[in-house]
Structure 1
Amino acid sequence: MSDLGWNPLHGVPSYPAERYAALADRIGGILRSRNDILLVQAEAVVALEAAAVSLARPGLSALNIITSPYGGWFGQWLRRGGATVKDIVAEPGLSVEIEAVAKALDAGPRIDVLALVHAESASGILNPLPEIMALARARNIVTIVDAVASVGGHQLDVDDLGIDIAVIGPQKALGGPAGVSALSVSHRAWDLILRDGAPRESILSLADLKTWIDGGRRGLPGTPAPLEFFALETALDRIEAEGMENIVARHALAASATRAGLMALGAAAWVPAEKASNLVTAVPVPEALEPASLIAAAGRLGVEITAGVGNGSARLVRLNHTGPRAAFQTVLSNVVVYGVALRQAGHPADISAASEAIADAYRR
């Protein structure tokens, strides 16, 4: 008789009910928010859809900023619930212009909700969040921010900015598990969610999740997946040990070093530094070359370079320096291998100068 051995995954203990509240409080600390923190037992796109579904209803007016497919989805979810949605669609692959947001807000009619993505891993851009939040606060508009990619990669002070609903996932810059996400929800957002018969009895109902808060924040509704919560707890241990300011600084350094390396290589970054995210650096591929061939050449050298995502990104490739990849070794290998791929395709690239520029950035 064969001995199949013991698989520890088959005997995972239940996650202790009393520790969910501690997890929520620790996430609130990361977000710098005293708002209610909800834990969602799914990848962050479910939390984003839950926010849209819980707010959307006839009579609600929303301004939705689209800088990637994610913003497009959010507008669809709001419309499906009966909301009236005005979209601001940025130039393909670029961040939104603050003047366009101000113009849309002043054009009327009254806007109840404003939604946007903070930083885009799809194209490597950063939207002007503080300026947009200031416009919304001045008009008493409830705000929803998709901070799934940006949390840990950029400074995010939810209460100081006045964000009413912030949606995060730990799997990107925070380097945590993908199967659990979280939202912070302000009192103003709850007033809007709970009025006029909020959606109930649904995995997408924030009103249902609020019963966890109202009931003393013990056992979560449904059947929790303990592995995800143990993994989240471990990730939070690591995040707190490093410190959020250090994590953000590590991503900022990785982004600036990548840009310095690309400049020395002879390759231009897609957007200027002040409009770029710290998560990935997008690079326009020279006209004579095909993005797919550069990606394949890098893959043969053991480095993953990916294509841009969304409108306007067809000729972009992305160098990923998110989470554990925000480190010297990854930044160096990304840029050097991109240079090697360019050379193999017959395009000049100064790999030595790029390596030196990256080393200089990290020495400073």
Structure 2
Amino acid sequence: MVAQRDASWSPLLDPAAFSAARYDRLGHRIGALLGSTHHDIALVPGEAVVALEAVARELGGGGGRVLNVATSVYGHLFGQWLAAGGATVTTLTPSVPGQPIPLAEVTDALDNGPWAAIALVHGEAASGIVNPLAEILAAARSRGVPTVVDAVASVGAEPVLLGDEGPDILVIGAQKALGGPSGLAVAAVSETGWGLLARPAGAPSFSSLSLLDLKRDWLDTDRTAIPLTPITHDLWALEAAVADVEDEGLGMRVARHRAVARAVRAGLAGLGLRLWVDEEERSSGLTTAALLPDGVDRSTVLALARDRFGVVLGTGSSEVDPRLVKISHTGPRAAFVPAAGALAALAGAIELASASGSPRLDLGAGMAAFTASWIASTGGAG
């Protein structure tokens, strides 16, 4: 007997078509949000790591020397893709793993050029740090070095603009602070940026990992046929996310993320926990990291926060301190209620995980500091 198929209709199974004209307008709207004056906006089908690999391989195809600043696993991956494309890669890492790269170390390395380009990640969700992007861009620009920036997580949570002082190539992920889908990424490329890219030796004439193909098949055409046919749901979702950012204002969204980060930092300090990054200007608007007290098992804290309080906390990558835990306040979580709940869940999980059973944290002081900071930043809104 053949099972009866459920004939109920779902818009997820039959989405409305997304026209080429609408696709073109979406790119222009993203460019306008970012203050673009001379960058092409390419929508790259796939999770943001696809766009990063596409950029790295074709940047490597130019065969020059690239200074690659690696402050997390993603920076190291970018360097591997650069080398696979044909670049000569010099990797610059901070002296303290998981911390922001000091500007002086970058300028010293830039002075040991010539360099075809410098590449770096802006905001690191893995460790809750933010690299000094504006200062690095200025240092590179003064030395005539083009810039490539992974802002997958940071756009919407940190100031990033594409004017004359912006990077030559910028890769954006929609699913973080912009609150969009994970199946589409954005690459913004200036004329200088396009000049950095070349098809790697032996590469096929067409590749799904190619910005140059997107340029040939979309940006340099009459734009009547969408290339690579992205998933329609993702296009509608990205358009809705862009509309939300337009309504709020990109600057206001950045301010909201920074206000939440400031409040979480205050709350963690009030609890008596040590912050992973001491200075606020070096900490990310995406996530805030702190170190667990000595003798408290991190895996136990994570399990208790999830199972007892319904909150998923994060950890750093392998090179970061094994005591590190993170509170994410990205996108829809950049608001009072989810951030306060995560802070309380972390405190409760630490109390339950404490071997002595006696209180280790001052929950009242932590929540009071969190709330006071939030009110000071926002007047209590949101």
Fold match, TM over 0.5? yes
Letter in 2 for 1:27: I
Cα 1:335–1:103 change in 2 (3 A) is same
Equivalents in 2 of 1:336, 1:221: separation in Å? 47
- Deviation of 1:271 after TM superposition, in Å, equals 0.5
Distance across 2 between alignment mates of 1:86 and 1:2: 58
Other structure's SS at 1:158 match: coil
Task: Specify the SS of the correspondent of 1:11.
Answer: coil
Per the alignment, residue 380 of structure 2 pairs with none
Which residue of structure 2 aligns with residue 243 of structure 1? Answer: 249
Cα distance in 1, alignment partners of residues 346 and 131 from structure 2: 27
Structure-1 separation of matches of 2:170 and 2:249? 20
Q: Is the 8 A contact 1:122 1:310 kept in 2?
A: no
Residues 289-322 of structure 1: CA distance to partner in whole angstroms, max 9, x if unpaired?
1111111111121111111124124221100111
Spell out the pairing of 1:86-235 with structure 2 (5 A cutoff).
86-90=90-94, 91-108=96-113, 110-194=114-198, 200-211=205-216, 212-235=218-241
Report the TM-score, using the length of structure 2 for normalisation: 0.91
Deviation at 1:160, TM superposition (A): 4.0
Say whether the 8 Å CA contact 1:33–1:159 is kept in structure 2: yes
Per mean C-alpha deviation after superposition, the further-off stretch among 342-351 and 37-46 is: 342-351
How many residues get paired?
A: 363
Partner AA of 2:300 in structure 1: S
Letter in 1 for 2:207: S
Query: Aligned-pair distance for 1:58?
Result: 6.4
Q: Residue type matched to 1:145 in 2?
A: V
Match of 1:32 among 11, 30, 35: 35
The 2-side partners of 1:59 and 1:21 are apart by 32
C-alpha separation between the residues in 2 aligned to 1:194 and 1:340?
53
Give the whole-Å Cα distance in 1 for the aligned partners of 2:352 and 2:144: 55
In the alignment, what sits opposite 1:62? 66
Alignment match, 2:342: 334
Deviations 1:47-84 (A, max 9, x none): 01111111113641100000000000000001111210
Does the Cα contact within 8 Å between 1:340 and 1:349 map onto a contact in 2? Answer: no
Cα 1:97/1:20, change in 2 over 3 Å? same
Q: Distance in 2 between matches of 1:314 and 1:29?
A: 41
The question of whether the paired residues in 1 share the 8 Å contact of 2:158 and 2:254 is answered with yes
How far 1:287 moved relative to its partner?
Answer: 2.1
SS in 2 for 1:215: coil
- Report sequence identity in percent: 44
Once the 2 structures are TM-superposed, how far is the Cα of residue 196 of structure 1 from its aligned partner?
9.1
* Structure 1 gap ranges (5+): none
TM-score, with structure 1 as normaliser: 0.95
CA distance in 1, matches of 2:228, 2:174: 21
Of 274, 278, 282 in structure 1, the residue corresponding to residue 281 of structure 2 is 274
In structure 2, C-alpha distance between the alignment counterparts of 1:2 and 1:52, rounded to whole Å = 46
State the SS of the aligned residue for 2:208: coil
